Amino acid sequence: VTPAILVQQWIGGITPAALVAVPMFILAAEIMTRGQAEDGSILAGLRDGERFVGLLNVLGSMPRGAAPAADATENTVIGVVATNARLTKESANKVAQMAHDGLARAVRPSHTMYDGDTIFSLATGTQEADTTVVGAFAAEVVAQAIRNGVLAATSLGDVRSLHEFAH
């Protein structure tokens, strides 16, 4: 597998995922270009013919100083975590930071120099809730939203979805 394989595109999707934990509700929506199932199997990503290629193997085999032939805008996961918990500005920032753990659970590698992975958070402030609990649930919701996006996506032009490879 050569670094040229990095120019392949994969379509994910935009999907919501929700979990409820009294007294809060969290919702995350994600846009996704690559992802892994809960069991670690690859759902989307680089392919060499009909099989997935681990991106870490490709990056590790690249000559020192070489960069993938991909635009950062083609590898970005961006989303929002919303909750009705009462959060300060600092707590909302912490929730967004913790939500990135969900991104790392579902996208490998994440937060590289070749993407713009970003998660925002917002809070309506109607329920008292512990920031750590909100952040922990946010990470789970983000990971599930990414998986849902890959599973629900349909092909768009030359960019193929999981369903096109499955049939």
Cα-based angle 124, 149, 17 (whole degrees, multiple of 5): 35
Taken in order of first residue, the domains within the chain and their CATH numbers are: 3-166 (3.60.70.12)
Kindly report which listed range (19-28, 58-67, 86-95, 121-130) carries the lowest average pLDDT score: 19-28
Could you tell me what percent of the chain has a pLDDT over 70?
53
Residue 33 has, within 13 A of its CA and on its CB side, a CA count of: 23
DSSP helix/strand/coil, 77? coil
User: 124 or 114: which carries more pLDDT confidence?
Assistant: 124
Bridge partners, residue 159, by sequence? 156
Whether 109 has a pLDDT exceeding 50, the answer reads yes
Question: CA–CA separation, 119 vs 101, rounded Å?
Answer: 10
Question: CA–CA separation, 43 vs 25, rounded Å?
Answer: 27
Whether 2 has a pLDDT exceeding 50, the answer reads no
Whether 46 has a pLDDT exceeding 80, the answer reads no
Neighbour tally for 83: CB within 10 Å: 27
Local confidence band at 36 (pLDDT 50, 70, 90 cut-offs): low
Say which amino acid occupies 21. Answer: A
Q: What confidence score (pLDDT) does residue 130 get?
A: 92
